[in-house]
């Protein structure tokens, strides 16, 4: 009966109550959203590369190596000679290798030279391999495979011609116009830097540099495409290697071997460790985001307390009646806590609903646009704990008006001085 | 029309040498002796601001006197904890205010049943004969509130006369030993005032409860067993014999 009455009392002040619930709901939806984006971003990030046991490059740091080899950010300080690569690839612990060669660009997108093994062994998001939205792997020397974003942004279709520029700028720089390429395939969206990459074969990278020396075209020399085809296009150096081992147990042995490779300073890193290291750098922003949304929740709770407190004076009569029929001041106080708890609970439910609705609508869009995969699922244990904590916080903040009501009803008794 | 008092029954209300002062206020209130017998109907006359509400607060156990002794039905209120006093009030007292008696958002029915919410014994007494809903409906009907407005609509939609009847029903449900009314008729015009008192008294006849009504309206005097002026009990020793006509 008392519960019903307190709900009726709340319904009697429904406009304030609804606004309070709305504020609470939006704050909790925001908080849950940020949490989901946070975990989603972290997972997406960690899922950028999978299935690879070691990344090998010229000796620098693990984070720079990860940045240029996987995220296509920045440049390699040095290359690996083809001989070193062969040595690594021939080691007994090595199951497969994917050599990659970076340094060219196409209209702002990185061009990456690699081999068939790349499509074979590159994994992302758990254990997903690259799939083709159209076309197929590069077959010819002048074939390219485009990432989903490249194809979508530049409007390429399978079969289109494409010109690769030397260097990394979007425009300017000299173009390798004498070596026209053809789009042989377009990859499906992955949500990783692969989407923004133009893939060609390692030989193609060599081919477009045939007439170039020290980064500039040799004057007066121009080798035709057919002549290039006839040349030995084994690369002299590559940028990095993705390595898979035959057994996980051998990873560390191989890593040590590579790091101590006598003929050239090399660096082998475990992708997971390097990703962790990188995440710890950019994780600060993530914490700041969580902090801000936490403050929003706190603000909403304070707003709720303010709303209940401001209703107290107009509810003195209500409290006097309750006192007259025998309710103790603690019961009057409890009603305030009950009210705060009800509001918080309603806010939590509405907020969760808003959050799930938002996720259902925005999730696929975010995945499409930013490659951030936000799975639509019911609240996780962690999110339920957050919700529970929020409701507890609501009940606790109900203590403030509860104490006010307690004092007031003690002082007023049955008589209300208005 | 005074009923013969059973000598063994303790007085419903007994105040002796009571002194009270609101904390932080200069207003002092003192009653040397004040008594209400079982089933007695007492009209307490006094101007507003004369301490009537203070007296009601003391009797209902919401305020505690600094000095003296207040007994209800033979129970010394000072011996009870504040929670016990709240419970005692719920079980044995019915209160009608001057106005704004009801939870405006609750139905008449719910407002009446609120009178039993904190009084399990009183509720049990009701349940021996009928459900609380039936008791509330019976009382409301007896007090002249049409059935169709007893439930389903908030009390705030009722007229002030109807609201007072609901308040009376809340005070009367479960037959508490003492009904306290603080100027319950001041919001009503003369005719409905009389009708209202008539209805209340009929219920009191049935339950045998005592009534303490506070008013400034001397015309009500004829209805009561005894009339007490607040100024009298505050100044002099006051006994039922001295005041009884």
- A417 touching chain B per CB within 8 A: no
Number of domains composing chain A: 2
The whole-number pLDDT of residue A218 equals: 56
Of B87 and A180, the structure prediction assigns the larger pLDDT to B87
* A165: in domain: yes
Banded model confidence at residue B1, pLDDT cuts 50, 70, 90: very low
d(CA B241, CA B230): 16
| Test mutation, A326, A330, A335, A407, chain B, max B CBs within 10 A | A326
Question: What is the per-residue pLDDT across B142-176, written as a single tens digit (0 to 9) for each?
Answer: 888 888 888 888 888 888 888 888 998 999 898 89
Instruction: Walk me through the domains of chain B, giving residue ranges and CATH numbers.
Output: 38-61+82-229 (3.40.50.300)
Contacts of B113 in chain A (CB under 8 A): 1
Whether residues A253 and A292 share a domain: the answer is no
10 Å CB burial of residue A112 (0-12, 13-18, 19+) is: buried
What integer pLDDT is reported at residue A350 of this predicted model? 93
Residue A81 · residue A264 · CB < 8 Å: yes
Q: Strand pairing of A181-187 and A132-135?
A: antiparallel
Distance CA A27, CA B150 (A): 41
Same domain, A173 and A256: yes
Q: Token pair 């009183």 is at which residue?
A: B122
Distance of residue A413 Cα from the nearest chain B Cα, in angstroms = 6
* Domain assignment present for A276: no
pLDDT tens string A284-321? 888 888 888 888 888 888 888 888 888 887 788 888 88
Q: What pLDDT, on the 0 to 100 scale, is given for residue B191?
A: 77
Assess whether A109 and A30 both reside in one domain.
no
B96: closest chain A residue by CA: A324
Q: Are A182 and A204 in contact (CB under 8 A)?
A: no
The rounded distance, in Å, linking the Cα atoms of A253 and A415 is: 85
Mean pLDDT of chain B: 82
Per-residue pLDDT tens over the stretch A172-222 = 345 555 567 888 899 988 878 888 888 988 888 887 776 655 555 555 555
Please check whether residues A209 and A339 belong to one and the same domain. Answer: no
> How is residue B153 written in tokens?
């609509």
C-alpha dihedral over A57, A63, A66, A68, to 10 degrees?
-80
| CB atoms A415 and B57 under 8 Å | yes
**Residues B14-62 pLDDT 10s:** 888 888 887 777 677 888 888 898 889 999 888 777 778 788 888 888 8
Question: CB within 8 A of A7, min separation 6: which ones?
Answer: A342
Instruction: At B22, list the tokens.
Output: 């609101």
Cα dist. B211→A343, B180, B226 in Å? 42, 6, 11
Q: Do A29 and A91 fall into the same domain?
A: no
**Statement to judge: residues A82 and A215 lie in one domain:** yes
Alpha carbons B135 and B224: distance in angstroms, whole number: 26
**Does A99 fall in a domain?**
yes
Handedness of CA A158, A161, A167, A169 (dihedral sign): negative
What b/e string do you get for B4-35 counting C-beta neighbours within 10 Å, with b at 16 or more? eeeeeeebbbbbeebebeeeeeeeebbbbbbb
The pLDDT value recorded for residue B237 is 37
Give A-chain residues touching B104 at CB under 8 angstroms: 12
B49: left (phi over 0), alpha (psi -120 to 50) or beta: left
The nearest alpha carbon in chain B to A11 belongs to: B105
Closest by CA to A145, choosing from A171, A107, A119, is A119
- Residues of B whose CB is below 8 A from A322: 114
Contacts of B184 in chain A (CB under 8 A): none
**Do the chains contact at B117 and A2, CB–CB below 8 Å?**
yes
> Regarding beta strands B41-45 and B93-96, do their DSSP bridges make them parallel or antiparallel, or are they unpaired?
unpaired
Check whether residue A228 and residue A336 sit in a common domain: no
Nearest CA in chain B to A12: B105
Between CA A168 and CA B205 the distance in angstroms is: 102
Q: Which candidate, A237, A238, A271, A268, places its Cα nearest to that of A91?
A: A268
Q: Which residues contact A130 (CB under 8 A, 6 or more apart)?
A: A118, A119, A122, A124, A187, A188, A190, A194
First to last CA, chain B: 12
* A274 is a domain residue: no
Q: Is A41 exposed, middle or buried (0-12, 13-18, 19+ CB in 10 A)?
A: buried
Residue A167 lies in a domain: yes
Choose the final residue of a domain: A269, A301, A336. A269
Q: Which domain holds residue A167?
A: 54-269
Of A5, A321, A325, the CB nearest to B90: A325
The answer to whether the CB of B12 falls within 8 A of the CB of B178 is yes
Residue B92 touches partner A, C-beta closer than 8 Å: no
Give domain status of residue A372, yes or no.
yes
Residue A7, chain B, CB below 8 Å: the answer is no
Minimal CA separation from A414 to chain B, in Å: 7
Residues of B in contact with A326 (CB under 8 A): 86-87, 89-91, 93, 117-119
Whether residue A417 is contained in a domain is answered as no
Q: Is A239 in the same domain as A348?
A: no
Average pLDDT over residues B92-113: 85
Q: What does the alpha-carbon distance between residue B184 and residue B180 come to, in Å, rounded to a whole number?
A: 10
β-pairing verdict for A109-114 and B41-45? unpaired
Distance (Å, whole) CA B61 – CA B78: 9
Mutation site, A317, A324, A330, interface B, largest B CB count within 10 A: A324
- The alpha helices in A106-196, defined as continuous H runs, are 116-121, 148-154
Q: Confidence band (pLDDT; 50, 70, 90) for B236?
A: very low
**CB-CB under 8 Å, B154 with A331:** no
Q: What is the dihedral of CA B75, B80, B83, B85, to 10 degrees?
A: 30
Q: How many residues does chain A have?
A: 418
What would you report as the CA-atom Rg of chain A, rounded to the nearest whole angstrom?
31
From CA A39, how far away is CA A131, in angstroms rounded? 25
Instruction: List all residues of chain A from 220 to 259 with a beta carbon under 8 Å from chain B.
Output: none
- Strand-pairing partners, residue B107, are B154
Residue A346 sits in the same domain as residue A399: yes
Cβ contact B56–A414 (<8 Å): yes
- SS3 label, residue B47: coil
pLDDT of residue B241: 44
Q: Is residue A277 part of a domain?
A: no
For residues B75 and B134, the answer to whether their CB atoms sit within 8 Å is: no
- Beta bridge partners of residue B41, listed in sequence order: B211
Q: Are residues A33 and A169 in the same domain?
A: no
A211 in reach of chain B (CB within 8 A): no
Identify the pLDDT of residue B7.
Answer: 55
Task: Report, as ranges of residue numbers, the positions in chain A whose pLDDT lies below 70.
Answer: 164-179, 210-228, 230, 369-371, 411-418
Whole-number Å distance between alpha carbons of A34 and A46: 18
Does residue B62 sit at the A interface (CB-CB below 8 Å)? yes
Q: Indicate whether A307 and A381 sit together in one domain.
A: yes
B113–A414 C-beta distance less than 8 A: no
Pair (A58, A37) in one structural domain: no
Domain-ending residue, one of A269, A300, A330: A269
Handedness of CA A199, A204, A205, A209 (dihedral sign): negative
Chain A residue at shortest CA distance from B54: A415
Residue B217 φ then ψ, to 5°? -100, 105
Task: Tell me, rounded to whole angstroms, the distance of Cα B167 from its chain centroid.
Answer: 11
**Shortest Cα distance, chain A CAs vs residue B8, angstroms:** 28
- Cβ-defined contact of B60 to A324 (cutoff 8 Å): yes
Closest Cα to residue B170, out of A330, A324, A151?
Answer: A324
Report ipTM (2 d.p.): 0.81
Rounded Cα distance between A384 and B49, Å, is 56
Query: Which of A215, A245, A269 lies at the terminal end of a domain, its last residue?
Result: A269
């Amino acid at each position: 009966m008392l519960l019903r009455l307190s709900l009726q009392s709340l319904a009697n002040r429904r406009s304030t109550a609804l606004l309070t619930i709305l504020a609470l709901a939006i704050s909790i939806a925001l908080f849950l959203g940020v949490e989901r984006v946070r975990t989603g971003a972290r997972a997406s990030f960690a899922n950028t590369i999978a299935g690879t046991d070691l990344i090998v490059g010229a000796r620098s740091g693990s984070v720079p190596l990860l940045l240029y080899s996987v995220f296509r950010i920045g440049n390699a300080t040095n290359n690996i000679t083809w001989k070193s690569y062969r040595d690594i690839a021939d080691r007994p612990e090595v199951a497969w290798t994917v050599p990659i060669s970076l340094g060219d660009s196409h209209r702002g997108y990185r061009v990456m030279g690699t081999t068939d093994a790349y499509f074979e062994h590159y994994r992302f998001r758990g254990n997903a391999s690259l799939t083709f939205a159209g076309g197929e792997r590069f077959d010819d020397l002048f074939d390219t495979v485009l990432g989903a974003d490249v194809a979508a942004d530049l409007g390429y279709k399978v079969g289109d011609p494409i010109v690769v520029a030397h260097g990394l700028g979007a425009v300017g720089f000299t173009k390798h116009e004498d070596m026209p390429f053809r789009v042989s395939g377009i990859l499906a969206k992955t949500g990783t830097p692969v989407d923004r990459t133009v893939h060609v074969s390692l030989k193609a990278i060599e081919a477009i540099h045939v007439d170039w020396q020290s980064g500039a075209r040799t004057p007066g020399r121009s080798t035709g495409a057919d002549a290039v085809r006839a040349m030995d296009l084994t690369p002299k150096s590559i940028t990095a290697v993705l390595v898979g081992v035959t057994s996980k147990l051998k990873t560390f042995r191989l890593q040590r071997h590579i790091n101590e490779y006598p003929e050239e300073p090399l660096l082998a890193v475990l992708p997971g460790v390097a990703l962790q290291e990188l995440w710890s750098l950019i994780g600060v922003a993530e914490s700041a985001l969580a902090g801000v949304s936490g403050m929003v929740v706190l603000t909403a709770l304070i707003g709720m307390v303010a709303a209940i407190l401001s209703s107290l004076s107009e509810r003195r009569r209500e409290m006097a009646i309750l006192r007259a029929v025998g309710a103790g001041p603690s019961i009057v106080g409890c009603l305030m806590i009950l009210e705060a708890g009800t509001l918080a609970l309603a806010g939590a439910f509405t907020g969760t609903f808003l959050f799930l609705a938002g996720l259902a609508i925005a999730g696929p869009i975010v995945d499409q646009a930013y490659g951030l995969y936000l799975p639509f699922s019911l609240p996780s244990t962690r999110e339920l704990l957050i919700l529970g904590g929020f409701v507890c916080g609501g009940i606790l903040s109900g203590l403030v008006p509860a104490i006010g009501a307690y004092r007031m009803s003690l002082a007023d008794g049955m008589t209300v001085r208005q | 029309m005074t009923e013969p008092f059973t000598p063994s029954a303790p007085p419903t209300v007994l105040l002796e040498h009571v002194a009270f002062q609101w904390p932080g206020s200069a207003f002092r209130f003192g009653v040397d002796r004040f008594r209400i017998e079982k089933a007695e109907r007492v009209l307490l006359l006094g101007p507003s601001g004369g301490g009537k509400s203070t007296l009601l607060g003391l009797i209902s156990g919401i305020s505690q006197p600094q000095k003296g002794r207040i007994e209800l039905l033979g129970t010394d209120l000072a011996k009870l904890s504040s929670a016990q006093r709240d419970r005692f009030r719920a079980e044995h007292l019915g209160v009608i205010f001057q106005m704004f008696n009801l939870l405006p958002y609750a139905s008449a029915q719910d407002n009446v049943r609120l009178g039993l919410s904190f009084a399990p014994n009183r509720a049990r007494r009701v349940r021996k004969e009928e459900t609380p809903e039936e008791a509330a409906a019976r009382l409301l009907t007896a007090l002249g509130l049409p059935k169709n407005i007893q439930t389903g609509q908030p009390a705030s939609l009722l007229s002030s006369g109807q609201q007072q009847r609901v308040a009376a029903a809340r005070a009367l449900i479960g037959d508490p030993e003492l009904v306290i009314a603080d100027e319950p008729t001041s919001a009503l015009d003369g005719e409905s005032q009389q009708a209202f008192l008539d209805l209340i008294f009929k219920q009191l006849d049935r339950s045998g409860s005592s009534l303490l009504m506070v008013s400034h309206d001397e015309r009500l005097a004829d209805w009561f067993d005894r009339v007490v002026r607040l100024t009298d009990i505050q100044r002099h020793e006051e006994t039922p014999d001295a005041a009884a006509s």
